[in-house]
Structure 1
Amino acid sequence: MKFNEVKDLSVTELKKKRATLSEELFQARIKNSIGQLSNPLEIRDLRRSIAKINTAIVKKVAR
């Protein structure tokens, strides 16, 4: 997910997206601990996407 895709969304949309990504991250961590995750780099991508969303939320609220 690119930051340009995130910065155009509203704060409520960003919070919903963050909640879904957090759930996906939780599921990916569970699968990784069991050994069912095919690509462990997916965890890193999810964390980075959540960080981008958090940055966009802070920028929008600060305005």
Structure 2
Amino acid sequence: MSYKIKEIRSWSDEELRKKLEELRAEQLNQRMLKVLGGAIENPARIRNTRRAIARILTVLNERKRKESIEGEKKDKQEKA
């Protein structure tokens, strides 16, 4: 479950969004088990899931920021 940032960066945006959706669903299930008092197989999995979600969101935000910066540079060049 533990994804390395290098591995995550190699995925496409669509793959990232799909994996993010899967991880959020898994996180919801883990929380429900915990709240309902069910036996959790691996308690560390909750933390690993949360961290994987954070890594994916980080990569998506980096890409979004990079695109907006490149767009601003093009606008400035066109004005000049």
- Identity among equivalent positions (%) equals 33
Distance of 1:11 and 1:45 partners within structure 2: 21
Are the equivalent residues in 2 in contact too, given 1:3–1:52 (CA < 8 A)? yes
Distance of 2:18 and 2:41 partners within structure 1: 26
Distance of 1:32 and 1:38 partners within structure 2: 11
Are the equivalent residues in 2 in contact too, given 1:32–1:40 (CA < 8 A)? no
Where in structure 1 are there 5+ consecutive unaligned residues?
Answer: none
Counterpart position of 2:58 = 55
Which has the greater radius of gyration? 2
Distance of 1:36 and 1:51 partners within structure 2: 25
User: TM-score of the superposition, structure 1-length normalised?
Assistant: 0.90
Secondary structure of the 1:29 match is helix
* Residue 26 of structure 1: how far off its partner (Å): 0.5
Counterpart position of 2:7 = 5
User: TM-score of the superposition, structure 2-length normalised?
Assistant: 0.73
Alignment RMSD (CA, Å):
1.0
Distance of 2:39 and 2:31 partners within structure 1: 10
Distance of 1:24 and 1:48 partners within structure 2: 13
> What is the 5 A alignment of 1:1-63?
1-33=3-35, 34-63=37-66
